[in-house]
Amino acid sequence: MAIALVTGSAGLIGAEAVRFLAEKGLDVVGIDNDMRAYFFGAEASTDWSREQLETGLKSQYRHFMADIRELDALEPVFREYGSDIALVLHTAAQPSHDWAAREPITDFTVNANGTLNLLELTRKHCPEAAFIFTSTNKVYGDTPNRLPLVELETRWEIDQSHPFYADGIDESMSIDGTLHSLFGASKVAADVLVQEYGRYFGLKTGVFRGGCLTGPGHSGAELHGFLAYLAKCALTGRAYTVFGYKGKQVRDNIHSHDLVNAFWHFFQAPRAGEVYNIGGGRHANCSMLEAISMAEEIAGKAFNWSYSEENRVGDHIWWISDISKFKNHFPDWNLQYDMQGIMEQVMDGQRARLVTAV
Protein backbone atom coordinates (compact mmCIF):
# COMPACT_ATOMS: atom_id res chain seq x y z
CA MET A 1 0.00 0.00 0.00
CA ALA A 2 1.37 3.42 -0.98
CA ILE A 3 1.79 5.82 1.93
CA ALA A 4 1.44 9.61 1.90
CA LEU A 5 3.22 11.41 4.73
CA VAL A 6 1.69 14.82 5.47
CA THR A 7 3.21 17.37 7.86
CA GLY A 8 0.92 19.95 9.42
CA SER A 9 -1.75 17.32 8.84
CA ALA A 10 -4.38 18.93 11.10
CA GLY A 11 -4.01 22.38 9.53
CA LEU A 12 -6.03 23.88 6.71
CA ILE A 13 -4.06 22.43 3.81
CA GLY A 14 -2.82 19.36 5.64
CA ALA A 15 -6.29 18.15 6.68
CA GLU A 16 -7.71 18.85 3.23
CA ALA A 17 -4.85 16.82 1.77
CA VAL A 18 -5.31 13.94 4.20
CA ARG A 19 -8.95 13.52 3.18
CA PHE A 20 -8.21 13.99 -0.51
CA LEU A 21 -5.39 11.44 -0.52
CA ALA A 22 -7.41 8.95 1.52
CA GLU A 23 -10.23 9.21 -1.03
CA LYS A 24 -7.67 8.43 -3.71
CA GLY A 25 -6.87 5.18 -1.89
CA LEU A 26 -3.64 6.07 -0.09
CA ASP A 27 -2.97 5.38 3.56
CA VAL A 28 -1.91 8.61 5.25
CA VAL A 29 0.58 9.27 8.03
CA GLY A 30 0.15 12.67 9.64
CA ILE A 31 2.68 14.69 11.63
CA ASP A 32 1.32 17.64 13.61
CA ASN A 33 2.00 18.77 17.18
CA ASP A 34 -0.49 21.68 17.13
CA MET A 35 2.12 24.44 17.31
CA ARG A 36 -0.51 26.70 15.77
CA ALA A 37 -1.99 26.99 19.26
CA TYR A 38 1.43 28.09 20.55
CA PHE A 39 1.78 30.63 17.76
CA PHE A 40 -1.70 32.17 17.87
CA GLY A 41 -3.46 31.01 21.02
CA ALA A 42 -6.04 28.40 21.94
CA GLU A 43 -8.68 29.61 19.45
CA ALA A 44 -6.26 28.80 16.61
CA SER A 45 -5.66 25.23 17.80
CA THR A 46 -6.10 22.50 15.21
CA ASP A 47 -6.75 19.79 17.79
CA TRP A 48 -10.40 19.62 16.69
CA SER A 49 -9.24 18.88 13.14
CA ARG A 50 -6.93 16.08 14.26
CA GLU A 51 -9.79 14.47 16.18
CA GLN A 52 -12.01 14.61 13.09
CA LEU A 53 -9.35 12.93 10.96
CA GLU A 54 -8.68 10.16 13.46
CA THR A 55 -12.40 9.53 14.01
CA GLY A 56 -13.47 9.79 10.38
CA LEU A 57 -10.66 7.94 8.64
CA LYS A 58 -9.88 5.40 11.36
CA SER A 59 -7.29 2.85 10.19
CA GLN A 60 -6.53 4.77 6.99
CA TYR A 61 -4.95 7.59 8.98
CA ARG A 62 -2.27 7.44 11.66
CA HIS A 63 -1.21 10.51 13.59
CA PHE A 64 2.17 11.35 15.16
CA MET A 65 2.55 14.28 17.57
CA ALA A 66 6.11 14.91 16.43
CA ASP A 67 7.99 18.20 16.16
CA ILE A 68 9.59 18.65 12.73
CA ARG A 69 12.51 20.46 14.36
CA GLU A 70 13.53 17.22 16.09
CA LEU A 71 15.28 14.81 13.74
CA ASP A 72 15.18 12.05 16.36
CA ALA A 73 11.39 12.35 16.56
CA LEU A 74 10.97 12.13 12.79
CA GLU A 75 13.42 9.36 11.98
CA PRO A 76 11.37 6.50 13.51
CA VAL A 77 8.35 7.51 11.39
CA PHE A 78 10.35 7.44 8.16
CA ARG A 79 12.10 4.25 9.19
CA GLU A 80 8.81 2.49 9.94
CA TYR A 81 7.25 3.23 6.55
CA GLY A 82 10.43 3.40 4.47
CA SER A 83 10.12 3.04 0.72
CA ASP A 84 6.32 2.61 1.01
CA ILE A 85 6.20 6.41 1.32
CA ALA A 86 5.26 7.57 -2.16
CA LEU A 87 4.58 11.20 -1.26
CA VAL A 88 5.89 13.62 1.35
CA LEU A 89 3.62 16.65 1.51
CA HIS A 90 5.16 19.31 3.73
CA THR A 91 2.62 21.90 4.89
CA ALA A 92 3.81 22.47 8.48
CA ALA A 93 5.13 25.97 9.16
CA GLN A 94 5.22 29.06 11.30
CA PRO A 95 3.09 31.11 8.88
CA SER A 96 3.03 34.71 10.15
CA HIS A 97 5.57 37.41 9.37
CA ASP A 98 4.40 39.47 12.37
CA TRP A 99 4.88 36.53 14.73
CA ALA A 100 8.32 35.65 13.31
CA ALA A 101 9.77 38.90 14.67
CA ARG A 102 8.79 37.83 18.20
CA GLU A 103 10.77 34.60 18.13
CA PRO A 104 13.13 34.54 15.12
CA ILE A 105 14.88 31.36 16.24
CA THR A 106 11.61 29.46 16.61
CA ASP A 107 10.44 30.73 13.24
CA PHE A 108 13.65 29.75 11.45
CA THR A 109 14.05 26.35 13.07
CA VAL A 110 10.46 25.40 12.25
CA ASN A 111 10.46 26.69 8.70
CA ALA A 112 14.05 26.08 7.56
CA ASN A 113 15.56 23.43 9.84
CA GLY A 114 12.33 21.43 9.89
CA THR A 115 12.27 21.39 6.09
CA LEU A 116 15.91 20.29 5.96
CA ASN A 117 15.14 17.42 8.35
CA LEU A 118 12.30 16.22 6.13
CA LEU A 119 14.34 16.48 2.94
CA GLU A 120 17.23 14.54 4.40
CA LEU A 121 14.97 11.80 5.76
CA THR A 122 13.24 11.55 2.39
CA ARG A 123 16.62 11.19 0.67
CA LYS A 124 17.64 8.52 3.17
CA HIS A 125 14.46 6.42 3.48
CA CYS A 126 12.26 7.05 0.41
CA PRO A 127 14.27 8.76 -2.34
CA GLU A 128 11.73 7.82 -5.03
CA ALA A 129 8.92 9.69 -3.25
CA ALA A 130 7.59 12.98 -4.55
CA PHE A 131 8.30 15.84 -2.13
CA ILE A 132 5.88 18.79 -2.24
CA PHE A 133 6.55 21.96 -0.27
CA THR A 134 4.06 24.72 0.51
CA SER A 135 6.19 27.81 0.16
CA THR A 136 4.85 31.38 0.03
CA ASN A 137 4.78 34.47 -2.14
CA LYS A 138 6.60 36.21 0.73
CA VAL A 139 9.83 34.80 -0.72
CA TYR A 140 9.58 37.75 -3.15
CA GLY A 141 9.66 40.18 -0.22
CA ASP A 142 8.20 43.60 -0.90
CA THR A 143 9.42 43.66 -4.53
CA PRO A 144 5.78 43.54 -5.76
CA ASN A 145 5.28 46.96 -4.12
CA ARG A 146 7.60 48.49 -6.74
CA LEU A 147 5.18 47.60 -9.52
CA PRO A 148 3.34 50.51 -11.16
CA LEU A 149 0.11 50.51 -9.20
CA VAL A 150 -3.05 52.54 -9.80
CA GLU A 151 -5.53 53.42 -7.04
CA LEU A 152 -9.12 52.55 -7.89
CA GLU A 153 -12.28 53.01 -5.82
CA THR A 154 -12.03 49.76 -3.85
CA ARG A 155 -8.60 48.38 -4.73
CA TRP A 156 -5.10 48.90 -5.97
CA GLU A 157 -4.51 47.54 -9.46
CA ILE A 158 -1.43 47.18 -11.62
CA ASP A 159 -1.09 49.47 -14.63
CA GLN A 160 -2.62 47.84 -17.69
CA SER A 161 0.55 48.38 -19.72
CA HIS A 162 2.61 46.12 -17.44
CA PRO A 163 3.29 42.49 -18.50
CA PHE A 164 1.91 41.23 -15.18
CA TYR A 165 -1.51 42.86 -15.72
CA ALA A 166 -3.10 40.06 -17.74
CA ASP A 167 -2.24 37.04 -15.58
CA GLY A 168 -0.45 38.28 -12.45
CA ILE A 169 3.07 37.88 -11.08
CA ASP A 170 5.12 35.01 -12.46
CA GLU A 171 8.19 33.14 -11.21
CA SER A 172 10.62 35.48 -12.97
CA MET A 173 10.33 38.04 -10.17
CA SER A 174 13.60 38.27 -8.22
CA ILE A 175 13.79 37.24 -4.57
CA ASP A 176 16.93 39.39 -4.03
CA GLY A 177 17.40 42.97 -2.84
CA THR A 178 14.12 43.20 -0.99
CA LEU A 179 12.61 43.35 2.51
CA HIS A 180 11.27 39.87 3.21
CA SER A 181 10.31 39.95 6.88
CA LEU A 182 11.95 37.26 9.01
CA PHE A 183 9.17 34.86 8.07
CA GLY A 184 9.89 35.47 4.40
CA ALA A 185 13.59 34.86 4.99
CA SER A 186 13.01 31.53 6.74
CA LYS A 187 10.71 30.42 3.94
CA VAL A 188 13.27 31.48 1.33
CA ALA A 189 15.81 29.21 3.05
CA ALA A 190 13.36 26.30 2.98
CA ASP A 191 12.27 27.06 -0.58
CA VAL A 192 15.84 27.03 -1.89
CA LEU A 193 16.65 23.84 0.03
CA VAL A 194 13.73 22.04 -1.59
CA GLN A 195 14.86 23.21 -5.02
CA GLU A 196 18.44 22.12 -4.30
CA TYR A 197 17.49 18.63 -3.15
CA GLY A 198 15.75 18.30 -6.49
CA ARG A 199 18.54 19.70 -8.64
CA TYR A 200 21.54 18.39 -6.70
CA PHE A 201 20.27 15.03 -5.42
CA GLY A 202 17.61 14.39 -8.05
CA LEU A 203 14.68 14.16 -5.64
CA LYS A 204 11.27 14.79 -7.17
CA THR A 205 10.65 18.09 -5.42
CA GLY A 206 8.01 20.71 -6.14
CA VAL A 207 7.82 24.19 -4.59
CA PHE A 208 4.40 25.88 -4.52
CA ARG A 209 4.58 29.60 -3.71
CA GLY A 210 1.09 30.36 -2.49
CA GLY A 211 -0.71 33.60 -1.86
CA CYS A 212 -3.69 33.41 0.50
CA LEU A 213 -4.60 29.78 1.10
CA THR A 214 -8.07 29.47 2.52
CA GLY A 215 -11.11 27.29 2.98
CA PRO A 216 -13.75 26.18 5.51
CA GLY A 217 -11.20 24.22 7.57
CA HIS A 218 -9.08 27.24 8.53
CA SER A 219 -8.55 28.02 12.23
CA GLY A 220 -8.21 31.76 11.58
CA ALA A 221 -6.35 34.09 13.94
CA GLU A 222 -5.57 37.80 13.76
CA LEU A 223 -1.99 37.22 12.67
CA HIS A 224 -2.76 34.51 10.13
CA GLY A 225 -5.77 33.34 8.15
CA PHE A 226 -7.04 36.50 6.46
CA LEU A 227 -10.46 35.38 5.24
CA ALA A 228 -11.14 32.94 8.08
CA TYR A 229 -10.46 35.52 10.77
CA LEU A 230 -12.43 38.15 8.86
CA ALA A 231 -15.37 35.73 8.64
CA LYS A 232 -15.16 35.00 12.36
CA CYS A 233 -15.27 38.72 13.14
CA ALA A 234 -18.17 39.28 10.72
CA LEU A 235 -20.25 36.59 12.42
CA THR A 236 -19.42 37.46 16.05
CA GLY A 237 -19.16 41.25 15.86
CA ARG A 238 -15.56 41.11 17.06
CA ALA A 239 -13.54 44.19 16.09
CA TYR A 240 -11.32 43.80 13.03
CA THR A 241 -8.38 46.05 12.13
CA VAL A 242 -7.27 46.78 8.59
CA PHE A 243 -3.58 47.67 8.44
CA GLY A 244 -2.50 50.24 5.87
CA TYR A 245 -2.88 50.86 2.13
CA LYS A 246 -6.41 52.31 2.67
CA GLY A 247 -7.79 48.78 2.89
CA LYS A 248 -7.36 48.49 -0.87
CA GLN A 249 -4.53 45.93 -0.79
CA VAL A 250 -5.30 43.00 -3.09
CA ARG A 251 -4.78 39.29 -2.52
CA ASP A 252 -5.61 36.32 -4.67
CA ASN A 253 -7.21 33.46 -2.75
CA ILE A 254 -7.11 29.75 -3.49
CA HIS A 255 -9.49 27.24 -1.92
CA SER A 256 -7.71 24.45 -0.07
CA HIS A 257 -9.34 21.81 -2.30
CA ASP A 258 -8.06 23.50 -5.47
CA LEU A 259 -4.55 23.65 -4.02
CA VAL A 260 -4.52 20.03 -2.89
CA ASN A 261 -5.81 19.00 -6.30
CA ALA A 262 -2.81 20.81 -7.80
CA PHE A 263 -0.55 18.80 -5.48
CA TRP A 264 -2.24 15.62 -6.70
CA HIS A 265 -1.53 16.49 -10.32
CA PHE A 266 2.14 17.13 -9.52
CA PHE A 267 2.30 13.83 -7.63
CA GLN A 268 1.10 11.99 -10.73
CA ALA A 269 3.97 13.37 -12.85
CA PRO A 270 6.55 14.94 -10.52
CA ARG A 271 9.53 16.99 -11.62
CA ALA A 272 12.85 17.75 -9.90
CA GLY A 273 13.31 21.16 -8.28
CA GLU A 274 10.34 22.82 -9.97
CA VAL A 275 8.87 26.10 -8.70
CA TYR A 276 5.31 27.33 -9.21
CA ASN A 277 3.43 30.44 -8.20
CA ILE A 278 0.02 29.17 -7.14
CA GLY A 279 -3.13 30.99 -6.08
CA GLY A 280 -6.51 32.17 -7.22
CA GLY A 281 -4.93 34.30 -9.94
CA ARG A 282 -7.25 36.53 -11.93
CA HIS A 283 -10.02 34.00 -11.24
CA ALA A 284 -10.30 34.64 -7.48
CA ASN A 285 -8.92 37.78 -5.86
CA CYS A 286 -10.18 40.66 -3.75
CA SER A 287 -9.11 43.71 -1.80
CA MET A 288 -9.68 44.07 1.94
CA LEU A 289 -12.58 46.46 1.30
CA GLU A 290 -14.12 44.03 -1.17
CA ALA A 291 -13.73 41.12 1.26
CA ILE A 292 -15.43 43.12 4.01
CA SER A 293 -18.31 43.94 1.67
CA MET A 294 -18.76 40.25 0.79
CA ALA A 295 -18.65 39.26 4.45
CA GLU A 296 -21.29 41.85 5.35
CA GLU A 297 -23.56 40.62 2.58
CA ILE A 298 -23.24 36.96 3.57
CA ALA A 299 -23.54 37.63 7.32
CA GLY A 300 -26.45 40.00 6.79
CA LYS A 301 -25.10 42.67 9.12
CA ALA A 302 -22.60 45.50 9.32
CA PHE A 303 -18.95 44.66 9.92
CA ASN A 304 -17.17 46.07 12.99
CA TRP A 305 -13.84 47.26 11.63
CA SER A 306 -11.36 50.08 12.04
CA TYR A 307 -8.39 51.31 10.08
CA SER A 308 -4.73 51.69 11.07
CA GLU A 309 -2.49 53.68 8.73
CA GLU A 310 0.54 51.61 9.74
CA ASN A 311 0.95 48.71 7.31
CA ARG A 312 2.60 45.44 8.30
CA VAL A 313 6.34 45.22 7.56
CA GLY A 314 6.99 43.71 4.14
CA ASP A 315 3.29 43.41 3.38
CA HIS A 316 2.19 43.35 -0.25
CA ILE A 317 0.01 46.08 -1.71
CA TRP A 318 -1.01 43.98 -4.70
CA TRP A 319 -0.52 40.29 -5.26
CA ILE A 320 -2.13 38.17 -7.93
CA SER A 321 -0.38 34.92 -8.85
CA ASP A 322 0.32 34.02 -12.45
CA ILE A 323 -0.55 30.31 -12.44
CA SER A 324 0.03 29.76 -16.14
CA LYS A 325 3.29 27.84 -15.67
CA PHE A 326 1.56 25.20 -13.55
CA LYS A 327 -1.38 25.04 -15.93
CA ASN A 328 0.99 24.59 -18.87
CA HIS A 329 2.69 21.69 -17.10
CA PHE A 330 -0.60 20.19 -15.88
CA PRO A 331 -3.33 21.26 -18.32
CA ASP A 332 -6.01 19.02 -16.78
CA TRP A 333 -5.97 21.06 -13.54
CA ASN A 334 -8.34 23.98 -13.15
CA LEU A 335 -9.60 26.22 -10.37
CA GLN A 336 -13.10 25.27 -9.23
CA TYR A 337 -13.82 28.02 -6.69
CA ASP A 338 -14.28 31.72 -7.47
CA MET A 339 -14.13 34.47 -4.84
CA GLN A 340 -17.83 34.35 -3.94
CA GLY A 341 -17.78 30.57 -3.58
CA ILE A 342 -14.66 30.72 -1.41
CA MET A 343 -16.12 33.39 0.87
CA GLU A 344 -19.39 31.50 1.32
CA GLN A 345 -17.56 28.31 2.27
CA VAL A 346 -15.23 30.11 4.68
CA MET A 347 -18.22 31.74 6.37
CA ASP A 348 -20.02 28.38 6.60
CA GLY A 349 -16.94 26.80 8.16
CA GLN A 350 -16.71 29.53 10.79
CA ARG A 351 -20.44 29.25 11.57
CA ALA A 352 -20.09 25.51 12.14
CA ARG A 353 -17.19 25.94 14.57
CA LEU A 354 -18.91 28.74 16.46
CA VAL A 355 -21.95 26.46 17.00
CA THR A 356 -19.69 23.62 18.16
CA ALA A 357 -17.87 25.94 20.57
CA VAL A 358 -21.17 26.87 22.21
Burial grade of 30 (CB within 10 A; 0-12, 13-18, 19 or more): buried
Question: Please, how many CA atoms are within 13 Å of residue 322, restricted to the half-sphere of its CB?
Answer: 16
CA-CA distance, 294 to 286, in Å (whole number)?
A: 10
As a whole number, the mean pLDDT across the chain is 94
The amino acid sitting at 100 is: A
pLDDT of amino acid 279: 98
Best CA proximity match to 279, nearest among 199, 214, 185: 214
pLDDT of amino acid 220: 67
| DSSP annotation string for 290-327 | HHHHHHHHHHTS---EEEES-PPTT--SEE-B--HHHH
pLDDT of amino acid 226: 76
Domains of the chain: 3-357 (3.40.50.720)
pLDDT of amino acid 356: 63
The residues pairing with 151 across neighbouring beta strands, listed in sequence order, are 156
Please give the angle made by the CA atoms of 100, 105 and 106, to the nearest 5 degrees: 65
pLDDT of amino acid 350: 86
pLDDT of amino acid 310: 87
Q: What is the pLDDT of residues 53-110, one digit of tens each?
A: 999 998 999 999 999 999 999 999 999 999 999 999 999 999 998 899 999 999 999 9
Helix ranges (DSSP H) in the chain: 12-23, 35-40, 47-57, 71-81, 97-100, 104-108, 114-125, 181-199, 226-236, 256-268, 288-299, 324-329, 339-357
Give the contacts of 39 (CB within 8 A, at least 6 positions apart).
94, 95, 96, 99, 221, 223, 224
277 and 212 in contact (C-beta within 8 Å)?
Answer: no
Provide block-wise average pLDDT over 10 residues at a time, the chain (358 residues). 95 97 97 95 92 95 98 98 98 93 97 98 98 97 97 98 98 96 96 98 98 84 76 90 94 97 98 98 96 92 91 90 98 97 91 69
CA-CA distance, 320 to 173, in Å (whole number)?
A: 13
Q: How far does Cα 51 stand from its chain's mean position?
A: 21
CA-CA distance, 255 to 283, in Å (whole number)?
A: 12
Question: Please, how many CA atoms are within 13 Å of residue 78, restricted to the half-sphere of its CB?
Answer: 22
Best CA proximity match to 125, nearest among 80, 77, 70, 82: 82
